[in-house]
Amino acid sequence: MGDISSAKEEYMNKIHLSIKRLLLENIVTIKDSSEDVFKVMKDIDIFVSANREQEAFGRTLIEAQARGVPVVATRVGGVVENVIDEETGLLCEPNNPADMADKILRYIREPELIKRMAINARSNVEEKYSLEQMMIKTLEVYSDILNMKKILIFKISALGDIILAVPSIRAIRKNFRNATIKVLVDYRFREILEKCPYIDEIIACDLKSRDTGIGFLKLAGRLRSEDFDLSVDFQNNRKSHILSVLSMIPERYGFDNRKCSFLINRKISLPKNVVGPVDQQALVLGLLGITGIEENLELWTDMVNEEWAKKYLQKIWTIKGQKLVGLSISASRKWETKNWGVSQLSELAEMLAREKNIRVILFGAEEDMQDAKKFLKKTDVKVIDVVGKTTLAQCVSLMKKCDALVTGDSALMHMAAAINVPFVSIFGPTSPERHLPPAEKYKVLYKRIKCSPCYKPTCSRKMECLKGIKPREVFDALMELL
C-alpha cells in the first residue's frame, strides 16, 4: 500500500520489475492509498510493516489493528508504542528477513494466537484512538500550547545579585515547567548562567554602552518581538521597568520602589523589616502564587574548566594535601568602604603561610590588578595570583579547589556559597542580615558601631567598622572553619 500517484516513476518501475522477476504477478497486488482502507484490510489475513528506518507513528498498523488484522512489525521508532510484542502484535528485528518470516509463520501455525492478538489490538485502538479520545487529546494539545507561557526575567547585574537570583529562577521553572524562560543579563556576566538548566535562553545586553539611546530602543524592539506573556523584574530599577513597558509585556511583576515602578502592574511594596536577598525576591514570586522557595544557591561548571583548574594548580607547584585559601583582593571598586585593605590581607597571608603552611590564591577582576601588585610587593609569601587572569567559569572551577575563602561583601562571597566552599566574610558599611547569602559553612566578622550600617561608598570616620577587624581575628575564624 502507498501513494502511487506521488511515487517516483523510476522507483515504481523497479518494484514492478522485481515482481515479474520473482514470478509474483498473481500473488502481489499494489494498492493505492486513495482506496478504501477498510475494504482493503478486509481481504488481508496478516499485516506486515517492514520499515527499516525509524517510524514516527505507524498509522497503517493502527488501521490494521482496528480491523482486527494481526500484525508483524519491525522494532523501530514509534511502532513499539502500539505493537506490544506478544500482546497486540509480533515484533521482529529490522533487516532480518528470517526473523520476520518466522513471526508470520507463527500466526499460520497458531490460529489461537491470531484471535488473541486481534482482540487485544482492537481494545488498544478503541482505548487510545477512538474519535472521542482523539478529540480530547487534540484539545489538550491546543490547551497546553495556549497555556505555555513565555517569561522574561530581568536580572541584569551585578554578578553577586545574579547568583542570588538562581533560587528564584529555579522556583519559576518548577512552577512553569512548560514555559519558555529567558533572562536579560549584562553581557559581562552571561557566562555565569550559560549552563543553568532552568532557563531556555540568555539575552545579553550592554546598558552602559551599546544599548543606550537608539540601542536601548532596539533592545526593547528585540524583546517586543519575543511576545512575552509576563516579566519578573529582579533588577527593579528605572531601566528595567521602562524596558518591560516598551517590550509590551502584559503582566509585569516587581517591587513598588518608586523607581518608575508605576510602570509595573503587578507589584508589592518593599519589606519594612530587614530580610535576606532570597526572601526578598520571594515576595515578588508570591504574586505569581509561588511559595516554598528552596534557598540554596547553585553554579555550574564543566569538565573543560575543571580540568583547566586541576592542571593550573599542578603547573604552579602546589603541594598535594596542602591547604589552599582564597583571598578576595577587593569587594568593590565603587565602594572603598567595603574593601578590608591590601595591608591587612597581606598580613593575613603571611600568618597562614608561616603558622599553618597554607597556600594563598588571590582572586579578583581585571580592575583589581593594581591592588594585586601592591599586595605582592608587601609580602614575600609565594602567592598564586589569578587576579584578572581567568574567565568567570575558570574562576568558579579554581575556587572549588579552595578549602576556604576570605572575602568582603562581594560577588565572590556568593560564588563560594553557591559551590559550598566555606568562607569568612568581612562586613563594613552593609548589613550581613540583608546581604549574607544562604550557605552551610561560614563565619561573619562585623563590627557594629554607632553609624553601622551606613550604606555609604566613602567614610569620614577612617572606616572604623572595617579597620577594626584585625588579621588575627580573620585567621582565628579561618582556623575554626578549617
Spell out the per-residue pLDDT of the chain, length 482, in tens: 555 555 577 888 888 899 898 888 888 888 776 677 778 888 889 999 988 887 777 788 998 999 889 999 999 888 888 899 999 999 999 989 999 999 999 999 998 999 999 999 999 898 888 888 888 888 887 777 766 899 999 999 999 999 999 999 999 999 999 899 999 999 999 999 999 999 999 999 999 999 999 999 999 999 999 999 999 999 999 999 999 999 999 999 999 988 899 999 999 998 888 888 899 999 999 999 999 899 999 999 999 999 999 999 998 877 788 999 999 999 988 889 999 999 999 999 999 999 999 999 999 999 999 999 999 999 989 999 999 999 999 999 999 999 999 999 999 999 999 999 999 999 999 999 999 999 999 999 999 888 989 999 999 888 889 989 999 999 999 999 99
The confidence score (pLDDT) of residue 7 equals 54
Closest to 374 (Cα-Cα) out of 329, 334, 419, 307: 329
Q: What angle do CA 151, 154, 159 make, to 5 degrees?
A: 135
Residue 424, beta-bridge partner list: 406, 443
Cα–Cα distances (Å) from 33 to 25, 38, 71, in that order, read: 20, 11, 19
DSSP code of 54?
P
Cβ contacts of residue 274 below 8 Å, gap of 6+? Answer: 431, 433, 434
- The confidence score (pLDDT) of residue 2 equals 54
Question: For the residues of 30-41, what is the DSSP string, one character each?
Answer: --BTTS-HHHHH
Cell 513565555 appears where?
Answer: 150
- The answer to whether the beta carbons of residues 362 and 384 sit under 8 Å apart is yes
Which one, of 255, 234, 83, 241, lies nearest residue 165 by Cα?
234
Close Cβ partners of 359 (under 8 Å, ≥ 6 residues apart): 318, 319, 322, 323, 324, 325, 353, 382, 384
Number of Cβ within 10 Å of residue 385's Cβ equals: 18
Q: How far apart are CA 478 and CA 291, in angstroms?
A: 36
- Coil/strand/helix, residue 437: coil
SS3 289: coil
Which H helix or E strand runs over 330?
A: none
Phi-psi region of 169 (alpha: psi -120 to 50; beta: other; left: phi over 0): alpha
Distance CA(437)–CA(422), nearest Å, equals: 12
Report the first-to-last Cα separation within the chain, whole angstroms: 75
Note the helical H segments in 153-236. Answer: 159-164, 166-175, 214-225
In sequence order, which ranges of 110-165 are alpha helices (DSSP H)?
Answer: 111-129, 131-146, 159-164
**Three-state SS at 312:** helix
C-beta of residue 203 within 8 angstroms of C-beta of residue 185: yes
The Cβ of residue 263 has, within 10 Å, a number of other Cβ atoms equal to: 18
Q: Which residues partner with 324 through β-bridges?
A: 359
Q: Which domains does the chain have, with CATH numbers?
A: 36-134 (3.40.50.2000), 148-286 (3.40.50.2000), 303-481 (3.40.50.2000)
Q: What is the pLDDT of residue 6?
A: 56
The count of other CB atoms within 10 Å of the CB of residue 382 is: 11
Which residues, in sequence order, are CB contacts of 318 under 8 Å at separation 6+?
324, 359, 384
